[in-house]
Amino acid sequence: MALLGEALYHDTLLSGDGTVSCATCHGLETGGVDRLPVSTGVKNQRGPINAPTVYNSAHNFVQFWDGRAATLEEQAAGPVENPLEMGDQWPEVVKKVAASESYRPQFDALFDGEVNTATITKAIAEFERTLVTPDSAFDKYLKGDKAALTEKEKRGALLFAESGCTSCHTGSYFGGESYQKLADSYFEARGGEMTEADNGRFNVTGEEADRHMFKVPMLRNIAVTPPYFHDGSAPDLETAVTIMAHHQLGLDLSKEDAAAIVAFLGSLTGEYKGVPLDKMASN
């Protein structure tokens, strides 16, 4: 099923004008993102928010920045009908997929010939569950390879914990387990008009307490997924670390300390199919 999902994931057939696939905004060779502040969809329209990485997304407790999808299947269904993303309608997509000679045998074998939104998204989600990235330098260090991390990376790991970063970036994926509020001071310092996307989870619940509340992103592979934050406003990791420390933790990091934390975060870059993501991203 994952092989079918992989084909669908890369197929522009799922978009209204045949130009956009899941991989357009979540390229596997570029860290599972598109490296744009906000994504570009059909008819070159700009979306409202930065594309999260697809790698390890199966281990998020919810999907999307605002948590509006509980599962990968629900997430996969959303972009197809978003007019700024894939700009199609599911009944039309189902017709196109069902008419494809290359897909018909696979749906026959896997779903008794049933081609519908549920079977298409189930296949895509099954593929996405394979997109895990083990064997980072940090993983190797934890398994006993004390030479896997540099002294700078080790110092960065200590600073990361001591500074309070782990209060939000929890668990083995360093995030993806909770919602946290982005400080009002962040938006004041950023400037510019507030957008609907800036509301975060408020857009889902309508609860004032959820305004500016976002799913905490995982930090595995963070070094290969610029730019950063929901609005893509931080062009590089040092900027992102410095901003987060200031607005979320009340800390003004020295350049040396910020650089050490960045070095540690770089040690969280894992491998996909035996290839380090930073090597994939550089090709």
pLDDT in tens, 21-44: 999 999 999 999 999 999 999 999
* In the predicted structure, residue 75 carries a pLDDT above the cut 70: yes
Q: Is the pLDDT of residue 267 over 90?
A: yes
Known binding residue 212? Answer is no
- Whether the pLDDT of residue 141 is over 70: the answer is yes
pLDDT of residue 106: 96
244 marked as binding residue: yes
Tell whether residue 169 is among the known ligand binding residues.
yes
CA atoms within 13 A on the CB side of 97: 30
- 64 near 54, Cβ under 8 Å? no
Q: Which of 3-12, 237-246, 272-281 has the lowest mean pLDDT?
A: 272-281
CA 51 to chain centre: 6
Confidence of residue 158 (pLDDT cuts 50, 70, 90): very high
3-state secondary structure of 176: coil
**Residue 149 DSSP class:** S
Nearest to 121 by CA among 64, 154, 79: 79
For residue 260, pLDDT beyond 90: yes
Supply the pLDDT for residue 133.
Answer: 98
Question: Tell me: domain 137-178+216-282, CATH 1.10.760.10, correct?
Answer: yes
Report the chain's mean pLDDT, rounded to a whole number. 97
CATH architecture of the region 2-128: Orthogonal Bundle (1.10)
Our answer to whether residue 85 is catalytic in this structure is yes
pLDDT over 80 at 120, yes or no: yes
> Which residue intervals of the chain bear CATH 1.10.760.10?
2-128, 137-178+216-282
pLDDT in tens, 191-247: 999 999 999 999 999 999 999 999 999 999 999 999 999 999 999 999 999 999 999
168 is in an annotated binding site: yes
**Beta-bridge partners for 272:** 275
Residue 144, helix vs strand vs coil: coil
Place of tokens 């782990």: 166
Predicted confidence at residue 282, as pLDDT, reads 56
- Active-site residue identified among 73, 85, 153, 177: 85
- Over residues 123-151, the mean pLDDT reads 98
The pLDDT assigned to 202 comes to 98
Q: Is residue 218 marked as binding? A: no
**Tokens representing 206?**
């309508």
% pLDDT > 90, the chain:
99
83 pLDDT higher than 90:
yes
Is 26 annotated for ligand binding?
yes
As a whole number of angstroms, the distance between CA 242 and CA 234 comes to: 10
What pLDDT shows up at residue 45?
Answer: 96
What's residue 281's pLDDT? 58
Please tell me the predicted confidence (pLDDT) of residue 233. Answer: 97
